[in-house]
Structure 1
């Protein structure tokens, strides 16, 4: 039996209560497959945000000193509740993002695992003792939560991005004000419902939806918020960094990507093509770690394209809630227009269309933001798709001849989130993976988003890491205590 209350109007969650926005206004949440309004969410503003900050500030002293074992118990319960309500949450994700339901279910399962991991990490916030320079001195270091945290999350993985922020924050002893994306507030609402049932005290987790500028400026200007954790575009991240600098707030950011996928001539071609298809078109290409640039060694270009076209042509496009759908709609009209502009720009500058390149007719969903899985080849550096994150179901193919050449091309970007290599040569895999300027590199592997490993980028792709053995570090401060005896 579901423990999630069915609601049409998503209210704000502040200090343990569901409340109306002060404005009294709500905005529409739309299904990108059909264009239909599926719910309405509270149009919160700076006044509501101040109330949420106040709640998190007053809840912090009690939550931050609660024994780690108790925080862990609550998070373990939340993990279990996510699994028990998997079907409802997955449906909400699919309705709001357009994501195929099978992928939405994977997102829920992964979020539950991430919550469980952080529950256990709560009990491993270790200090240390340090040998002192004199006999009658004792030095120790303790680690304490940084304070109330503002978490700002994107729409492409609306549940997992929320959990990646709040689970380590709560585990570390921080309180949270959560601002989810306007396009996808539903799963954040459900998380707050389940968090309350799991035993998260009033004020520890607060939810504000609405005007991103007014909410964001309030979170950044209030001194009681001691840390910003953000996932989103690099331009927005840069703006948040500038604002956070005024108060020297702690920040962690997972920003844009422009991932290269490199296929060397000695690679297992079937594996490389299957992996490229999966990682490129997952969530309609709307992932920060999907390859935006595919580099194929010249000697295997034709063989690669034959196999790749066959696999991509077999992908089924449709409403994410329908069965056996591989690629859903883009999540917004703006996203669709960006994809179209990248394809048109590339074709106008000499790219060759291998497959796709159009808006398909999906029976029963003529208002949906669908775009066919597309392959372009003969890509050059003057094209938008070579320099910007497309965030859509378009694979661009460039050839290369030498190892040094492709490493230089792959690194020729301001981004540095994820990269992929396909080769059977062990020495080459070591050389290239170490030479690539990216926070994560997959060698014959596309499964980079695992809770056991640190997720994050370098250069303009962000700072800080989510997951892994040090996943709580960004939410903790180290304090030296020196004692003369």
Structure 2
């Protein structure tokens, strides 16, 4: 069953998931993780059932209410997060190998994701130790203050494009806040989430505070969102699913954090360092094989440099090496699944039928060594306007569209003319222009002369259909808490009411 020696870690727990502190066979359908580079099964096991959901939520609520967890002081809970972070860093190579086998990503990227996850646990630990409540200004005879308390059970639903980093961005702040977490990992890439569950257990996290329930989003995910004992849902994924979660949350009057899709513009002005811009545009769209919500998939290039820049972009794209994630020379690895590869190909074919011109790529590689994998060549399209379907819908693959513009005003209008508002890249040597355009673009994150750079200390959010709520940053912990106000009478006098 184990096509990769590095995934032999699973052989000792062949058919187990984590349910409220117990490793046991899931009651759901068989889940198969396949190596996108070959199509071979990496690991197969039974996913969660609705009964597992009930057990995980009920067990999580009991664990969250247990004084052994509930009454821990912040520095004590932070110590637990530090231990998890340390274990992740110690096993970064193993995590990287498992995630590459599960998702197809390059080992360089999966190792960086593992180290990012370790940093997330450590940052949230530090933020927890230094988090303060507020004594608010008195307006009468009472001392007034605020307190923040956990929701109880948080459902975390994560995507397949960066599993362990996304897991950490939800689990670490939710645990720091005092909650239990039920994690629903992606069906196409669940293995690292199960490995993380093992490491949390080894670090000493009390049983029940973390469950890992692989399975169908339409069954397990929906059950978690609708469960009356789940106090908050944090979801990263597609906008259509996010809207469905939002409707259920509205009926429950439940808070949600939604990190959704994007169709991010990357803008090249004529005064930009074109070498720097070229490298940034390539990285912004083709790293992660384009499987990124923040991918710079709409490349706006000023008319004065359009021809030269696009020629250079096409030539550089043609030189990118497509191959297995285990090959250190690979630039563009396979997509996560053959079905997803076919969806990307269909969107490119539709764009061509609507008038787009393929400048490079536009099909699966013809190399026989790659024919069994879910590969798609890095692709650049031109010849369409910003109104074309390929410029409106998220592809989630290595596909960019180049679009000329003539004026800053025209550029801002086109860049904002989209339902999404997740990210943007600006390439210019004029700091005044950079600031002006950055403030005019409707997006949660704007990079200036760089792209896809992140810091756990810096909040991340989406505008418009790209999301709701904020992750990361010092306030990331409080997003998993409810605020309470306290009034303490200082006068000792009875209420001045009803006395005659």
Task: Give TM-score, length-normalised by structure 1.
Answer: 0.96
| Structure 1 runs not aligned, ≥5 long | none
**From 90, 97, 114, the counterpart of 1:91:** 97
Q: Distance in 1 between matches of 2:370 and 2:301?
A: 36
1:80 equivalent to 2:103? Answer no
**From 22, 31, 34, the counterpart of 2:35:** 31
1:114 equivalent to 2:120? Answer yes
Q: Secondary structure in 1 aligned to 2:404?
A: strand
1:50 equivalent to 2:54? Answer yes
Kept in 2, the 8 Å contact 1:129–1:141? The answer is yes
1:361 equivalent to 2:371? Answer no
Kept in 2, the 8 Å contact 1:10–1:39? The answer is no
Query: 1:366-403 CA deviation, whole Å, 9 max, x = no partner?
Result: 22111111111222234321110111111210000000
Query: 1:162-187 CA deviation, whole Å, 9 max, x = no partner?
Result: 11110110111111011001101100
1:272 corresponds to? 277
1:188 equivalent to 2:193? Answer yes
Q: Distance in 2 between matches of 1:325 and 1:472?
A: 37
How far is the alpha carbon of 1:336 from its aligned partner?
1.3
How far is the alpha carbon of 1:142 from its aligned partner?
1.1
How far is the alpha carbon of 1:6 from its aligned partner?
4.6
How far is the alpha carbon of 1:84 from its aligned partner?
0.9
**From 118, 129, 135, the counterpart of 1:129:** 135
Q: Distance in 2 between matches of 1:448 and 1:465?
A: 17
1:433 corresponds to? 438
| Structure 2 runs not aligned, ≥5 long | 1-5, 491-500
Q: Distance in 2 between matches of 1:319 and 1:170?
A: 36
Q: Secondary structure in 2 aligned to 1:470?
A: helix
Q: Distance in 2 between matches of 1:290 and 1:132?
A: 48
Kept in 1, the 8 Å contact 2:133–2:145? The answer is yes
Q: Distance in 2 between matches of 1:246 and 1:416?
A: 26
1:235 equivalent to 2:240? Answer yes
1:5–1:21 CA distance, 2 compared to 1 (3 A): closer
Kept in 1, the 8 Å contact 2:294–2:452? The answer is no
1:392 equivalent to 2:397? Answer yes
Q: Distance in 2 between matches of 1:65 and 1:241?
A: 32
1:65 equivalent to 2:71? Answer yes
Alignment of 1:142-221 (within 5 A): 142-221=147-226
Q: Please say which of residues 419-428 and 14-23 is displaced more in the overlay.
A: 14-23
Q: Distance in 1 between matches of 2:26 and 2:475?
A: 37
**From 296, 312, 317, the counterpart of 2:317:** 312
Q: Which contiguous aligned blocks of 4+ residues in structure 1 show a shift greater than 6 angstroms?
A: none
| Aligned positions, number | 483
**From 236, 249, 255, the counterpart of 1:250:** 255
1:41 corresponds to? 45
Q: Distance in 1 between matches of 2:12 and 2:259?
A: 31
How far is the alpha carbon of 1:10 from its aligned partner?
4.6
Q: Distance in 1 between matches of 2:129 and 2:310?
A: 50
Q: Distance in 2 between matches of 1:100 and 1:205?
A: 28
CA RMSD of aligned residues (A): 1.7
